[in-house]
Structure 1
Amino acid sequence: MLDPRNTEPGLHPVSHGNGLPGTIPEALDRAADIYGDRLAVNFFGEGKSLTFASLRRDVDRLACSLARLGIARGSHVAILLPNRLEFVVIWLAVARLGAVAVPMNVAFTAREINYVLNDSDAAFLFIDQGLLTRWREIESPPVGLDGRRVVVVGDDETGAERYSRYDELMADGRDSFVTSDPAGSGDLINIQYTSGTTGFPKGAMLDHRYWLTIAVANNAVFPPGIRSILSDHPVFYLDPPWKLVYGLIYGATVHFSPRMSSSHFMEWLRHYGIELCYFADPVINKASVGSDRDNSVRLFLGYHYTANMVRQIEERFGAPVREMYGSTETGTTLAVPLNLPDEEILGTCGLPAYGRVCKIVDEEGGIVPAGETGELWVAGGAMFKGYYKRPDINNRVFRDGWYRTGDLFMQTPRGYFKFIGRIKDIIRRSGESVSAAEVEAVIRELPGILEVAVTAVPDTYRDEEVKAWILLENNLNPEALPVNDIVSHCSKWLADFKIPRYFAYVDNLPLTASGKVAKKPLLDGQPLVGIIALVDREETIASC
């Protein structure tokens, strides 16, 4: 049974009766036995859905065939799929076999895909039919990852003859399957790649307890009896899997959208009777169409909301909004409880979640007084197990059992944790994590670039946008290396969401004592540089 530790004051779950399963496959079996013909997952963009019983049947059929294909406990299985039902079945089948899933962003270029495949030691690959062209662009794929070890998902079989076919594997499987070597609660189920300040993404090692703990922690915040959840994020991110696991444990239906859409958001809420979802920020700036309170939502989740924004959403849409803070490394870490202790908690990230202990420290690791800013450190059971094959980074981010988040927080006099900013050089654009170091490395490859700095720019709709500060070599002007050339180069090596929108050509960049670019003056709006030209690649906004 799952028993995450939490010895500090914070949010605790209500009783859950017969206890919790210890692994994801156990959660699936329990859900199929208890909830049976209740709808489990609905990918409404495809018109495909499965009950809890039929989900277990499909997972067992696939797991049976995958075992014959050679996937076993400990195998690393990459998954390159958009939001489609097969992702859920594959992820659970991989878990059934005790193997490890490696989800990948479908926006990745061939270069990025190859990096993750090699770094994760992936021995098998599930890939969407529409992404085969990108797969074939990889000049030197990992040794052995070809032929039958590549499973193509999709209806169009053109050009996929040499690979395994998902539909054929499903047809060849059995409705009931039991592995002889099942995973334990502490075994890995995911290597989840996340951007980092060192450039290329790092693989966070997540075990079965990690996902189960998130479900329990979130249940301590949610209204009781949630039955309908909207998942509108890409399935290869963190949110869809925890919503799926929550649904398995508590019997909720998860409705998966094809993509995020502020224009369809309210329609989805009403049509599917959604009771729980993340609020789509751009909707607050849209004009009301009919009654915005005409919905079944019992709780909106959000992050980085001011107290005024929370009140505005609650008044207009008629449902409470609660802040939650977490990360790939720590899962659900802080949350504002459903029943507010007082109004001061609004605009903060609340209190430590179930299974988490938090503190705010100075550069020496000493706890800072309330009202002062420091770095958030997190401890507790069932967090990530470190970064795959990154002992040097693991030694830096862990100290005496505490994980150093790299995020700046302060604690209010009443003990609530308030997010201030990031120490990490990470840009959050429309839910995507963009490594400034990775983008800088790609731009530096261009002839004529002397130095480049990539920073975040506040954006109403995307939370943050990406801005590149370009310092050209002597005697070069922007016409010698125009924005279109930089964007064209970036598009060959970076996913679209990583490509800067804003470009500032400058005549110098501030440096630290060690000779690195000092980004704080740039972020503070006091760059101490001469701006030669400022360009928005969607629209030229200034030139001087």
Structure 2
Amino acid sequence: MASWGGYNINETWAKVTFLMIQTVYEQFSAAAKESPELTFLCYPPSDDRGYLSSGAEFSYGNSLDLIDALATSYIEAGFVAGHRVALLLGNLPDHFWHLLALNSIGASVVPLNPAYMDHELEYAIKFANCALVVTTADRVGDLNRVCLSMSPHVSVFGLNSKEDTIPRPTCDAEVIPSAKGDREALIIYTSGTTGRPKGCIISNTSCLAAGESYGEAGGLINFEPGKDRLYIPLPAFHMNVSVYTLNTTTRLRNCIVLQDRFRASTWWSDIYHTKATCLHYMGIIPPLLIKSEKSQYENCHKVKFGQGAGVDPVVREEFESRFGFPLIEAWGMTETSRAIQNCRIPRDPAGRAFGFPRAPLEVLVVDENDNPVPFSTPGELLVRCAGENPRHGFFSGYLKQPEETEKVWRLGWFHTGDVVIQRDDGMLSFVDRKKNIIRRSGENIAAAEVEEALIEDSKIKSVAVLAAKDEFHDEEIHACIVLMPNSDASELTAKSIFDFGRSRLITYKLPGWISFVDKIPVTGTQKIRKEAIFSKDFNLKQDVNSFDMRSFKRKKVFKNE
């Protein structure tokens, strides 16, 4: 038996997998040929998902047969290397069949968010020069309405429709690199708070680098090839599923347990019945599970670890104590492919620590002028790959936006936009996104710090902190709160929450405004959409569910008051 990255695996498998593979499809095909009987995809039963209601499993071998047959159909339709095909298939297994089939012929996919409005669909399809859109039968009408208004028209192919022949491509293929690793595998649109989303070009090399980074993290991330089943309730149009998870899983011949979205009511049942051994989370998920009713399955699982980002340290401690496995905080971006995880044994307990950088990633923490800052000083995180090519394994650039690409790569480092602190031993801790830093009277306040303090209040179900313009302090802290069902949206409740925060935050970090809202919008990946909490004409001072706490911040607090 050969040893590779800490794993004992067949010598032939090690050679084929790690030395010869250049594409996403080649990695999957090698896994399927080596272990055709192993499960590739698993879907838990679900009454309201809209498909596979009884649940289903698909083996590597059967999946490869479907994928290769689909690739033949694409070739017969005239598709070649360099074509792009948009996929609007949700989390259906067909998403993976089409992605891998197209990758096998050198074409790339553009995953679309099913929640896109017509103008967003038109932009994503047209901007990427897609030659075809593949969607579910119930969305064919929507996509035809969009695509027939475009010039030239883009064909739409619906699953299980009467027309079972893939249409010919409606545009020419793009010019592609000769090296298969450099060829485009996906274009993933990142959701921005302003302007159009950017299309990140993800190469085969970038996909494989993601799988290598996660698969070989080690420590608490103790994957066992051919044995692990990773539960993930995130959308397939996102990097986490279609790049990070897919390529880690196929690298190790493991199984993806896929749910279409997060449901607190079925979370533990899903995990128990699918025999999941690890899982992915977003920061909003653990507190919701803690505040949910006890499940008969919550302590009957086989989960070894969860990996994600954005969980409050206090919530993490309570979660791990109740549910019995570690939540491993990680950092990564669509553009970087590789991730950094706080997975060393023993795990560092520091607040929002997300790990030590591992080769080949190098990091630098800088000020607003790109000058390195001292250890333990907040600054922007810069990353690159060690060696002659600092961009190796990263995204290939922003589609049709070379200036934006060079802007984030200035001085040979990728500028992440994340504010972090690095200790003198190398450990990195997350502070906040640069755009989530509130500037109040010259003080920089991380929205995440205020959110972490307030979420501990039992009256609060969820919270998001924004910057509100202020005539005296430039910006003031604005806490938007969804209350638990037994709490009322009153000024008395707002003052109670303010007083709760006083014991956890220095005065200038306390919320100057508290607004009670019905919900806090999130993306398909459960990231909070702060820009969508209020309408554009929202007036904070006139809103009946918003309460001014600024006078309480100015009052002197005595020990005996």
**Both structures adopt the same fold (TM-score exceeding 0.5):** yes
Partner SS, residue 533 of structure 1? coil
Residue range with higher mean Cα deviation, 291-300 or 187-196 = 291-300
1:315 to 316, 321, 337: 321
Give 1:51's aligned residue.
59
Q: How does 1:33-432 map to 2 (within 5 A)?
A: 33-44=33-44, 45=46, 46=52, 47-138=55-146, 141-146=149-154, 149-153=155-159, 155=160, 157=161, 164-165=163-164, 184-196=180-192, 198-221=194-217, 222-225=221-224, 226-241=227-242, 242-279=244-281, 280-281=285-286, 282-290=288-296, 292-340=298-346, 342-344=348-350, 347-380=352-385, 381-424=392-435
Structure 2 residue identity aligned to 1:191: I
The whole-number CA distance in structure 1 between the counterparts of 2:74 and 2:180 is 19
User: Does structure 1 conserve the Cα–Cα contact (< 8 Å) formed by 2:378 and 2:419?
Assistant: yes
CA distance in 2, matches of 1:541, 1:130: 41
CA 1:498–1:349 in 2, change beyond 3 Å: closer, same or farther? closer
**Distance in 2, Cα, partners of 1:366 & 1:277:** 38
Change (3 A) 1:49 1:151: farther
- Determine if contact 1:206/1:385 at 8 Å carries over to the other structure: yes
Q: What displacement does 1:425 show?
A: 6.9
Instruction: Find the aligned partners of 1:105 and 1:324 in 2 and give their Cα distance.
Output: 24
- The answer on whether the counterparts of 1:39 and 1:49 sit within 8 Å (CA) in structure 2 is yes
Instruction: Say whether the 8 Å CA contact 1:533–1:543 is kept in structure 2.
Output: no
Q: Is the 8 A contact 1:466 1:502 kept in 2?
A: no
Query: TM-score, normalised to structure 1's length?
Result: 0.72
Shift of 1:142: 3.6
- Structure 2 distance, partners of 1:13, 1:387, is 32
- CA distance in structure 1 between the partners assigned to 2:466 and 2:75 by the alignment: 44
Partner of 2:542: 533
Q: How far apart are 1:392 and its partner, in Å?
A: 1.7
Shift of 1:412: 2.3
CA-CA distance at 1:115 after TM superposition: 0.5
- Aligned with 2:541: secondary structure? strand
Partner SS for 1:60: helix
Tell me by how many angstroms 1:287 deviates.
3.1
Kept after mapping to 2: 8 A contact 1:378/1:405? yes
Q: Secondary structure at the match of 2:310?
A: coil
Give aligned pairs, total: 434
Q: What letter is aligned with 1:199?
A: G
Question: For 1:317-357, what per-residue CA distance to the aligned partner results, in whole angstroms no more than 9, with x for missing partners?
Answer: 1112211111111123321124125434x531111144321
Q: Distance in 2 between matches of 1:234 and 1:394?
A: 26
Q: Aligned to 1:532, what secondary structure does the other structure show?
A: coil
Query: Does the Cα contact within 8 Å between 1:80 and 1:103 map onto a contact in 2?
Result: yes
| Cα deviation, residue 307, structure 1 | 3.5
The share of aligned pairs that are identical, in percent, is 22
Asked if the contact 2:332/2:340 (under 8 Å) is kept, the reply is: yes
Change (3 A) 1:341 1:466: closer
3-state SS, counterpart of residue 222 of structure 2: coil
- C-alpha contact 2:464 2:530 (8 A) present in aligned 1: no
2:533 to 496, 501, 504: 501
Do the aligned partners of 2:80 and 2:105 also contact (CA within 8 Å) in 1? yes
Does the Cα contact within 8 Å between 1:505 and 1:534 map onto a contact in 2? no
- The TM-score with structure 2 as length reference comes to 0.70
Once the two structures are TM-superposed, the CA of residue 543 in structure 1 deviates from its matched residue by: 10
Query: d(CA) in 2 for partners of 1:59 and 1:498?
Result: 39
Alpha-carbon distance between aligned partners in 2 of 1:349 and 1:202, rounded to the nearest angstrom: 26
Contact persistence 1:213–1:355 (CA under 8 A): no
Partner of 1:474: none
Distance 1:322 1:499, change over 3 A: closer
Q: How much does 1:294 deviate?
A: 1.5
Range that drifts further, 52-61 or 196-205: 196-205
C-alpha distance after superposition, 1:146-205 (max 9, x if no partner): 4xx42112x4x4xxx6xx53xx559xxxxxxxxxx9971121101110023551101001
Structure showing greater relative contact order (alpha-carbon pairs closer than 8 Å, 6 or more residues apart):
1
The one-letter code matched in structure 2 to 1:28 is F
Q: Cα 1:25–1:506, aligned 2, differ >3 Å: closer, same or farther? A: closer
How is 1:479-518 mapped onto 2 (pairs within 5 angstroms)? Answer: 500-502=532-534
- Distance across 1 between alignment mates of 2:538 and 2:149: 39
* Cα distance in 2 for residues equivalent to 1:187 and 1:67: 18
The answer (yes or no) to whether the contact 1:503–1:534 under 8 Å persists in 2 is no
Q: Where in structure 2 are there 5+ consecutive unaligned residues?
A: 47-51, 168-176, 386-391, 438-446, 470-527, 550-561
Going from structure 1 to structure 2, the CA distance change for 1:465 and 1:240 (only over 3 Å counts) comes to farther
Q: State the 1:136 CA deviation.
A: 3.8
